[in-house]
Structure 1
Amino acid sequence: MFSSWKKLEEEKPALAEFGAARLDGKVAYLATTRSDGRPRAHPVTPVIGGGYIFVFLNAESPRTTDLIVKPDFS
């Protein structure tokens, strides 16, 4: 696992290029787990910049609540 997009770019440049072409500014899905254990998939738009990948979430959204309760995601 990589701690930043920059580290991925340094260690696996082909994978970073492949991922950036498919993720940066495009719709992707963030999978989380509800508090009752059921899975949930959320559409998100990742942005790659400054050596990191960002996903902006509304503080009131179910995906934010899921991540606060159980910070596992895919």
Structure 2
Amino acid sequence: MTTWKELTELAPTIAAVFARRHAATGKLCMLATIRADGFPRISPMEPVIFEDQLWIMGMPDTAKFRDLARDPRFCLHTATVDTYLADGDAKLWGVVADVRDEDVHRRFAEALFAESGMDLRDKLPFDHLYAADLTGASSIALLGGDRLEITIWKPGEPERVVQKH
């Protein structure tokens, strides 16, 4: 499993772009899952980095979480607010594992409350708390107005950069 902490060590450029865009949009990202009919679904979501791990959680009994329960593959894309990508853009993909450990749920709820004021401590245990196992990532930066720098990472490989003009 590649955790968020490991991604920051293995793919620091991509992790930095993701963290910057995640913070700039109030943590808003777009989550891609696979619907029961095989078509993709895109849903807004606010992933959380907690205990060096990327977590995907949210309102129970939603289509996106039914998708993940059936097929754990996902793609997470930072919310793009600038079509010129002046501040970059990042995508992470992988699979989730539904963590059922109630102590983890409790620590997560306490940390979320301390950080954001969102109080889910009376909702324990959660229906789902998904830990993300990252299996790939990429980021894009605009250089000089007409050049894109695409940074790509896969497990077992260093980041590599592709430039497009």
Deviates more, 1:3-12 or 1:22-31: 22-31
Give the aligned residue type for 1:20.
Answer: A
Distance 1:37 1:15 in 2: 29
2:67 corresponds to: 66
1:8 corresponds to: 7
Distance 1:9 1:37, change over 3 A: same
Higher relative contact order (CA 8 A, sep 6+): 1
Greater share of strand: 2
Partner of 1:31: helix, strand, or coil? strand
What do residues 41-65 of structure 1 show as CA deviations (whole Å, max 9, x unaligned)? 0100122232111221223111111
- The gaps in structure 1 that reach 5 residues or longer are none
Distance 1:38 1:12, change over 3 A: closer
Deviates more, 1:9-18 or 1:57-66: 9-18
Residues 32, 72 of structure 1: 8 Å contact kept: yes
Once the two structures are superposed, the pairs formed by residues 1-74 of structure 1 within 5 Å of their partners are 3-24=2-23, 25-74=26-75
Alignment coverage as a number of residue pairs: 73
Aligned CA-pair RMSD: 1.7
TM-score (norm 1): 0.81
Moved over 4 A (4+): none
TM-score (norm 2): 0.40
Greater share of helix: 1
Structure showing greater radius of gyration is: 2
